[in-house]
Structure 1
Amino acid sequence: MDQIYANLTELSYELQQRTEAEVRFDQVSRTLYATDASNYQIMPIGVVIPRTTDDVIATVEICARHKVPVLPRGGGSSLAGQTVGEAIVIDMSKYLRQILSVDPEAREVRVQPGITFGQLNRHLKDRGLMVGPDPASGERAAIGGCIGNNATGAHSILYGMFADHVLSMQTILSDGSVVELNEGHSAGRAATLWEDVCRIVDANQDDIRAYWPRHWRRASGYNLNYMLPDAPGRHPGNPSGRPHQPNLAQLVCGSEGTLAVITEATLNLMPRPKMTALGIIQFDEILAALEATNPILELNPSAVELMDRLLVELTRQQPQYARMLTFVEGTPEAILAVEFYGESEAELTAKLDRLEQHLAKHKIGGRFSRAMSAQAQADVWGVRKVGLGLFMSIRGDYKPIPVIEDFAVPVETLPRYMTDILALAKSYDTRLAIYGHASAGCLHLRPLINVKTAEGVQIMKEIGEAGAEIVFQCGGVTSGEHSDGLQRSYFNEKLFGPKLYQAMRQIKTVFDPDNLLNPGKVVEAPDPIQNLRYGANYSTIPLETYFDWSDDGGLDRAIEMCNGAGVCRKLDVGTMCPSYMATQDEQDTTRARANVFRALLSGALPLNAMTDQAVYDVFELCIGCKACKSECPSSVDMARIKTEYKAQYYARTGYPLRSRLIGNVPRLAKLAAATPGGLKLANFLLGLPPTKALMRRIGLTEERQFPRFATETFSSWFQQRPQPLNRAKQVLLFNDTWTEYNYPEIGQAAVKVLEAAGYQVNLETQRECCGRPLLTCGMVEPVKPMAQRNVDLLLPYVEKGWPIIGLEPSCILSFRDEYPALMDAARRDAARRDAGCPDSAHPVTNAKCPEILGGESFSCCGLFDTQCRVKDGCAICFVVYFELRLSASRKDRNARSWRCTSGWSG
């Protein structure tokens, strides 16, 4: 490797000259690709983001000449370290995401590797088709990664593995040659590969038939058994419906980029089910749920999923997901979600009736419920699929570690397997996080271990080895869907035996004689306790912070809550992360910001790189919407982390004029309003060419029109109007800067609504700006006295039981998210009470809007941006930009668009 690094400049130059790809060899870009969703961290040599297939071909060929390894990567959501390594990472996900062709009659689709599973299936929906195997990470998992992993998901009992549906693929071999792999005996390099592979398989066919793992739910090793039509270890139901024929594409499926780089793939498609329904069964014991699985399978469900008590407890702690727990009563030790397909609601009802009768007959389970509607089913699947992220939301250094998380056994041995695994966990005095695919015997079990200690690292290895022995005794495999990577390749020689493992080595040599394709995976793997992201030698640099991060255990722990799962790479669903949705660049993900800040604190990047432009650029496009706080299962508050970063950055560089201007908009507005004719004059000045020239000079685009000021402030209107007196119900309206100076009609509408609901509306005229504009610009210190003053002013109203109503979500959320970390302990609790947070003891401030406003006496509607902070679970962020309907005589109900002002409020 020393020679490689000596020639990096030459390699980078050649890649830039011969390709149209984005070529990134800087330290920050490499850091972004040093981790995935696994335990591991390895700094890559460089990153290439190809725009075309020709870019991929040229990259592989150039790297082959320089003897530099390459590593193809999709969404980087792999859980076993498949997509980290000392290589040139080729990121397929930004540009190579096209659907090349769809043939509904043949039930086939041809795609590039960068498109996500979720995007592809949404495209196919109108045709009544879909890709069958459905990984839970499908919204961010690239199809290339699904093929590389031999992925599957909850419906594997119907659809098998990805290898069962890969028909052909265009690949690039380690020397840069392009080869189409399929069932045929084509000429050239493909024919040579076919002959060499068949020779190896023929020489080992007796051992394949005799010793190949019998459990079909396997993502370990190379698929030698797929080259023999009658070999064991395949799904018994032939899920694709096509004849079993030797196919090099299916051999490469599951190889994790170690045999070839995939640039196109043809996949088999399945009919989309017309209707589905779920039966939900609660259990008092995990083992009882596993013992029930085999009898339930007699009814031919489409899926049987397991969730444990810990998952339910963690879900209840996350407001975004807690509302989905409509299907759970109490706190059961285990839940089985049993799904059926059907042609009609009547058919599904009959199937659930039969399930309920079957359970009663066999005395299985406790409470039984049904999820028939689309929303009810979405709630169940939402909780199940977010399981990993919720488990990783556990605070502290003890985390659910994926050392045995993908082991799979035949369903009939599940109770025995779990009994032994529970005993193993007890022997190490650790708790297990348990969820997964009971229908296929693939449970994701994660022991809570602190791998930041030498003892924890050793425990991880010992549990892995002991767990593997239990799996082998139960006739199982060490990977059921998440593949081998750095975590489990270590087990492959034991799983397959020395002869078959040697055959896999030979396969690797045939495809990749110089070991340049993602080396160290599947075969010839390092010890699984090497290259850990956190290990006994991991430490962080003490940093004097602007926020108090003690609730998180420190700034480093807050950042480490990002586990790399990549939920922030969603594109067509949800809100997180809007900057990535716009650019589709890894650099603009929430994950990237956490990775870079963690690298600064851990020394992977020098701390003085804090002010490097490349580091600043990673944070720059974060718009502070807090979608991550609500949609990230680990509740990573990147908006606050970004504010901390900016404060650290500007403490070293000084604040630019643009930040000073934007941060002090409330102060400038207040000054203008205090001057006779000041607001009109401000509007006049804002329209002048010199003002626009100044805006350009300080970095504000001409396309952005500075908000105009209203000619009359909201508080002036409020004081001059006739007010109802002596009403029993009192409410305090927190009028933000936006409402006060720019759009007073928002406040006016709020007053009308509240008074119509019977409230006496009050203003606190001495309150300060919430400080949000300053925080957005990283100017934290000036906000501290403002926050303290606001908390002191508002606390008496809270103690009197008055609701505090905010019109601007980002403004009020400052009380909940930022204020507690800016003041002493006494005021911290007061700030939370002011904000009406979930842990507040005050019932009124936690009331939902209908409860405050009288619910049945009115109806209202409104529109808000998907990036709006009102989605962040704050009950009292009451955005009033709608019309009230007080009686039947008033027929019209006008909804007006309200634009989130995020960083501009105050």
Structure 2
Amino acid sequence: MMESTSMIEAKLRTDRMTLGAYASDASIFRRVPAAVIEPESVDDVVAAVAYAAERGWDVTVRGGGTSVAGNAIGEGLVIDLSRRFNRILEIDTDSRTARIQPGVVCDDLRNALAPYGLTYGPDPSTHSRCTVGGMIANNACGSHSLAWGTAADNLVELTVLRADGSLVTLQRGGTSDSALTADLRRLRDEWIREFRVELGRFPRQVSGYGLHHLLDENGFDTAKAFAGSEGTLGIIVEAVVKTVPVPSHKALAVFAFTDIFSAAAAAPSTRRSGIATSEGMGGDLLDALRQSQGQDAGALLPGVGTAGGWLYCEATGDSREEAHTRATQLISEFESDPGCSVVDAVVVEDPREMRELWTIRESAAGLVTRLPDGGEAWPSWEDSSVPPGNLAGYLRDLYALLDNHGLRGIPFGHFGEGCVHIRISFDLGTEAGLETFRAFMTDAATAVARHGGSLSGEHGDGRARSELLSLMYSDRTLSSFRRVKEIYDPGRRMNPGLLVDPEPFDRGVRPGPGQRTHEFLPIHSFSDDGGSMVNAVNRCVGVGLCRSQDGAMCPSFQVTGDEVHSTRGRARILSEMFRGEVYPEALSSDDVKESLDLCLSCHACASECPVNVDMSVYKSEFLHQYYRGRRRPGAHYSMGWLPLTSFLLHAVPGAARMVNTLLGIGVVRNLVMKLGGLDASRSMITFANSSFQAVGRRRRHSSPGAGEGGVPGRVVLWPDTFTNHMDGQVAQDAQLVLSAMGYEVMVPSGFVCCGLTWHSTGQLTTAKKVIRHTLDRMEPWLDGETRIVVLEPSCASMLTEEAPRLMPEDVRASALAEQIVTLGDVVAEHKQACMRDHRLTWPFGEIQGSALTQVHCHERSRRAHGGTESALRLLGVDESTVETGCCGLAGNWGFEPGHADLSRDLAERELFPRIRGLDKDAYVLADGFSCRTQIREGFGGGKNGVHLAQLLRRALIRTEMSP
């Protein structure tokens, strides 16, 4: 055992960063663990459980940590199976099964099955990051349970580690351990009446243990009976699951109803062959969606403006016609039924549009944690379910309970299965609020039992509802739960406090009293969060989309796979910082600073997180507080003050040329990089011989009579630091392009800056001074009409998003933000103007070819790429985009010591491989200076990124050269 002990101790994570990140999951609860381990093999799991026994620790198993019931946290050893114990061991197409390790992510399994025309049936909304082992442990279901059932229904066999260190196989007909099999048969025989009468009454009855699967008529299936045990009976170390054929064709019928009760009443009639989903949403969900994603969100939904609820019904078929017919038949039935309050309906068959609609539904768990008025809403009464025919009545009672307790919530869920998800406006930060919370939860449990329902319809009872099981089950049934716990885990070490001997459901609430011990007055306004950074951090309820490998969030997690490096992990650490228990030094904590170190400030979370967590802003606020009265890292001075030093350098004639010459000397370069606190493996920044401001004023183009007689008028070309002082050709090309369209191009003089580099390094007081100085210089153009063209996406983002939040008292900051446009926007708008007014000139010819675009992460975050996309289309360029977000350099971040390797790994996710696969004549479009720098370094100048302005300039030249 000594060898195993030594091995396990080397793998244990007991640092405070890790403990803080694992203190919560997607629930309202917090439990700080003693240690975390990420095993790589069954032997590791066995040794870890033995080690925990030696230390007297309880054991909690965790997958993706997306549990909303608090069953993936604990105060002993947390075993995280998601990072390294996640292999697909075998796919058997003959038996249509897959043998897997429990840490396999649901979508990874589905992607592996896709080439065989198969999929894994259960698909909860967290399918991009939840693990199959966790799904089995919580008996998760998902949207398609109408067709394919729960995780238990799709289970063939489990290999389980018991608390005593023994491994046992569970399957239909018994177990590999004769003594265990006998114990389970005696259990079944003693409680056979209760199992038949109280358990398994309807498909979504998930609360408690699924012991009805031990009945002979159910095949004495010990694997299915283990599903939904929430880690309280043992640890799944291997699973064999069923797979199902992917439907040949699908059509999505979306119904809009007058109210949510009508949608609930209609849902039972959708339970029929060929209808795979029956998903419902409350009308207020659209308001929450638009608050998060913008007013255009939800445009595909029918009945917008009149509907109070929606139902998604996915029809399947062996042919397109069969699927379409099933969908339209459902519409015809509903529209001809006088008792069915359908406002509108639509059938969607385009895969992109179907995906867009499903994204709304799948984002609901995060979206509804913020009510349309910005108020907080929390899980716990999260997964209740009733027999589908009782759903409308139950929902009416639930709404009445909310009113009685002065609470609000937006329901959604699996209406065809009678399952409702809802986040509720509990006040968990005060003792009075917790009293209301307890009263509501008790009343709601009584109500769902009255409707013949279940406290949980998926995801388990956990800490959220286990205490309330006595309101749903008889004493005899509860005693059977205690007995099965004794059989598997007599020492009660496996995830204690759940299901048996439950903890009070209001104990250890994360946003509860004490969370604000170290709250401070932030520099940003946080107007959507009541001026509180604690409230902003509490936006993260842990749905874990930042753990997905899809999309742009979160880059560092996508490479490292470390929970600490996820947006959620950082939010948990910040929450613990405010509480002051794990990090008593609070704002002076080196652990908190280190946890934020790999945040690239890419802003992906600000748009891709369903509730718009913006970790880059939280990082800036923390760094501002942490470095008060401290010496900062060299990069904060060399990179943070780069805009001012660049301006001063160009103020001295010939200085830039001299500096470039000196920096070309290896010894000097290395010394400057070292003194500047920069990573010497990165290339040194070089400066243009003259600033664009100087060149632009000499080459200023204006059109006679600008603004009159059909001439477009004037624009201001923003001289950002990068195009002004380093890559001036981009700005010069933009000036020529704008002039060719007929604009009078104004170039501000003097020092103007958005403050980005000070903001990203947490020098917020200086950032505000810089922005105020800039607003003074820009005031003549702040007329609400003059368009200000910003070429650098990070500067545009800073001016439109961060500056108004830093300067809420200065109306000029908001005015400037409203006038910011991209070059692509101007070009696209000019084309429309030319079509309306033939006196205007369209000066561009077509550029034949294709382009791969590295959309700057800040541009992507504020959804500002549409103008560029339109401009490229007008030039005849076939564009594809890098989907993984940040290029990896991320401004000053990529130049800071210790970041270079990860920076390059980030580029290797997609950007660099895509460039290598391009035709030699294809363009690589990168409007961000950092992006172009990363590409140049990665390819040694062999493949350079170009700005849209440069591409437009080439189109101008071709037009001028054409006969």
Distance 1:594 1:439 in 2: 35
CA distance in 1, matches of 2:204, 2:412: 16
From 313, 328, 334, the counterpart of 2:287: 313
Q: Could you say if the C-alpha distance between residues 71 and 709 of structure 1 is closer, same or farther in structure 2, counting changes exceeding 3 Å?
A: same
Task: Work out the CA distance in 1 between the residues paired with 2:484 and 2:150.
Answer: 21
Distance of 1:488 and 1:201 partners within structure 2: 25
Once the two structures are superposed, residues 621-659 of structure 1 have per-residue CA deviations (whole angstroms, 9 ceiling, x without a partner) of 011110010011111111111011111122143212222
Determine the structure 2 residue equivalent to 1:647.
624
1:479 deviates by: 0.5
1:438 and 2:400 correspond: no
Identify the residue that residue 292 of structure 1 maps to in structure 2.
266
Aligned equivalent of 1:706, options 684, 694, 716 = 684
Cα distance in 2 for residues equivalent to 1:15 and 1:547:
50
Partner residue in 1 for 2:817: 835
Separation in structure 2 between the aligned mates of residue 903 and residue 258 of structure 1, nearest angstrom: 49
Q: Answer yes or no: is the 8 Å Cα contact 1:183–1:248 preserved in 2.
A: yes
User: 2:556 is matched with which residue?
Assistant: 579
Classify 1:886/1:247 alpha carbon distance in 2 versus 1 (closer, same or farther; 3 Å). closer
2:906 aligns with none
What do residues 207-236 of structure 1 show as CA deviations (whole Å, max 9, x unaligned)?
A: 211232512212221111111142xxxxxx
1:513 corresponds in structure 2 to 490
Tell me if structure 1 keeps the 8 A contact 2:511–2:538: no
Contact 1:220/1:484 (CA < 8 Å) preserved in 2?
Answer: yes
Structure 1 position 167 matched with structure 2 position 127: no
Q: State the Cα distance separating 1:606 from its structure 2 match.
A: 4.0
| 3-state SS, counterpart of residue 425 of structure 2 | strand
> Do the aligned partners of 2:394 and 2:451 also contact (CA within 8 Å) in 1?
yes
- Letter of the structure 1 residue corresponding to residue 15 of structure 2: D
**Corresponding residue for residue 74 of structure 2:** 85
What SS class does the counterpart of residue 764 from structure 2 fall into? Answer: coil
> Offset at 1:683?
2.8
1:271 is aligned to: 245
In structure 2, what is the Cα distance between the partners aligned to 1:522 and 1:696?
58
**How big is the shift at 1:862?**
5.5
Q: What is the Cα deviation at residue 696 of structure 1?
A: 4.7
Check whether the contact 1:504–1:523 (CA below 8 A) recurs between aligned residues.
Answer: yes
CA 1:14–1:463: 2 relative to 1, 3 Å: farther
Tell me if structure 2 keeps the 8 A contact 1:315–1:322: no
Residue aligning to 1:337: 312
Aligned amino acid, residue 65 of structure 1: E
Q: Does 1:620 align with 2:597?
A: yes
* TM-score, with length taken from structure 2: 0.85
Q: State how 1:199-598 maps to structure 2 within 5 Å.
A: 199-230=186-217, 245-298=219-272, 300-319=274-293, 322-328=296-302, 329-363=304-338, 364=340, 365-394=342-371, 399-536=376-513, 538-553=515-530, 554-571=532-549, 573-598=550-575
Are 1:823 and 2:812 an aligned pair? no
C-alpha displacement of 1:420: 1.6
Structure 1 pair 843/715, CA: closer, same or farther in 2 (3 Å)?
Answer: closer
Task: In structure 1, give the amino acid aligned to 2:65.
Answer: G
Could you tell me the TM-score, scaled by structure 1's length?
0.90
Output the CA distance in 1 between the equivalents of 2:805 and 2:260: 40
Q: Structure 1 pair 487/15, CA: closer, same or farther in 2 (3 Å)? A: farther
Q: Give deviations 1:33-72, integer Å, cap 9, x for gaps.
A: 1111111111111111223332211111111233321111
Distance in 1, Cα, partners of 2:463 & 2:42:
28
CA distance in 1, matches of 2:686, 2:701: 28
**Cα distance, 1:28–1:422 mapped onto 2, change above 3 Å:** same
Do 1:625 and 1:902's aligned partners in 2 also have CA atoms closer than 8 Å?
A: no
Secondary structure of the 2:343 match is coil
Report the Cα distance in structure 1 between the residues aligned to 2:294 and 2:130, rounded to whole angstroms.
22
Secondary structure in 2 matching 1:760? strand
* 1:718-757 pair list within 5 angstroms: 718-721=696-699, 723-726=701-704, 727-728=706-707, 729-757=713-741
Distance in structure 2 (CA, Å) of the matches to 1:263 and 1:672: 62
Cα pair 2:793 2:856 within 8 Å, conserved: no
Render the CA deviation track for 1:240-281: whole Å, top value 9, x for unaligned: xxxx53232222211111111122211110111222111121
Q: Out of 52, 55, 60, which is 1:63 matched to?
A: 52
Q: Are 2:259 and 2:282, in contact at CA under 8 Å, matched by a contact in 1?
A: no
Cα deviation, residue 299, structure 1: 6.6
User: 1:748 Cα deviation (Å)?
Assistant: 3.1
Report deviation, 1:615.
2.0
Quick check: 1:601–1:607 contact (8 Å CA) kept in 2? no
Assess, with a 3 A threshold, how the Cα gap between structure 1 residues 310 and 883 changes in structure 2: closer, same or farther.
closer
Matching residue within 38, 55, 59 for 2:27: 38
For each residue in 1:769-814, what CA deviation from the matched residue of structure 2 results, as whole angstroms up to 9, or x when unmatched? 2121122222222211210122233343241511111111211111
- Structure 1 counterpart SS, 2:160: strand
- Give the conservation status (yes or no) of the 8 Å contact 2:18–2:36: yes
Asked if the contact 1:864/1:897 (under 8 Å) is kept, the reply is: yes
Matched, 1:146 2:174: no
Deviation at 1:745, TM superposition (A): 2.9
Instruction: Give runs of aligned pairs for residues 118-129 of structure 1, distance below 5 A.
Output: 118-129=107-118
Say if 1:393 and 1:634, in contact at 8 Å, map to a contact too: yes
Q: Which amino acid aligns with 2:89?
A: L
> What value does the CA root-mean-square deviation take over the aligned residues?
2.9
- Counterpart residue identity of residue 789, structure 2: I
Call closer, same or farther: CA 1:183–1:551 in 2, change over 3 Å. closer
| 2:781 match | 797
Q: Aligned to 2:627, what secondary structure does the other structure show?
A: helix
- Pair 844,98 (structure 1): closer, same or farther in 2 beyond 3 Å: closer
Give the Cα–Cα distance (whole angstroms) in 2 for the partners of residues 281 and 378 of structure 1. 16
| C-alpha separation in 1, matches of 2:932 and 2:758 | 9
Relative to structure 1, the CA distance from residue 162 to residue 874 in structure 2 (aligned partners, 3 Å threshold; closer, same or farther) is closer
Which of 673, 681, 685 is the aligned partner of 1:695?
Answer: 673
Amino acid at match of 2:101: Q
Shift of the alpha carbon at 1:22? 3.2
How far is the alpha carbon of 1:673 from its aligned partner? 2.6
**Inter-partner Cα distance in structure 2 for 1:624 and 1:666:** 18
Q: Is the contact made by 1:320 and 1:630 (CA closer than 8 Å) also made in structure 2?
A: no
Work out whether residues 746 and 881 of structure 1, in 8 Å CA contact, stay in contact via their aligned partners in 2. no
Residue by residue over 1:181-221, the C-alpha shift from the partner in whole angstroms, topping out at 9 and shown as x without a partner, is 2236565xx22222211211122112211232512212221
| Gap change, CA 1:874 and 1:167, over 3 Å in 2 | closer
Conservation of the 8 A alpha-carbon contact between 1:113 and 1:142: yes
Alignment identity in percent? 30
Which residue number in structure 2 is paired with residue 194 of structure 1?
Answer: 181
Superposed displacement of residue 298, structure 1: 4.7
Q: Which runs of 5+ in 2 are unaligned?
A: 708-712, 836-841, 878-919, 934-963
Q: Secondary structure at the match of 2:253?
A: strand
1:117 aligns with 2:106: yes
Match of 1:897 in 2: 925
1:52 aligns to 2:41 (yes or no) = yes
**Contact 1:485/1:521 (8 A) holds in 2:** yes
Question: Residues of 2 paired with 1:882 and 1:369: CA distance?
Answer: 32
**Aligned amino acid, residue 831 of structure 1:** A
Using the alignment, how far apart are the partners of 1:407 and 1:662 within structure 2? Answer: 53
Relative distance call for 1:186 and 1:210 in structure 2 (3 A) is: closer
Report the 3-state secondary structure (helix = DSSP H, G, I; strand = E; otherwise coil) of the residue aligned with 1:325. coil
Alignment of 1:759-774 (within 5 A): 759-774=743-758
The CA deviation at 1:124 is 1.6
Which letter does structure 2 place at the counterpart of 1:832?
A: S
2:898 corresponds to:
none
CA distance in 2, matches of 1:722, 1:790: 21
CA distance in 1, matches of 2:172, 2:334: 45
Distance, in Å, in 2 between the alignment partners of 1:795 and 1:348 is 60
Match of 1:234 in 2: none
| Equivalence map 1:600-619=2 (5 Å) | 600-619=577-596
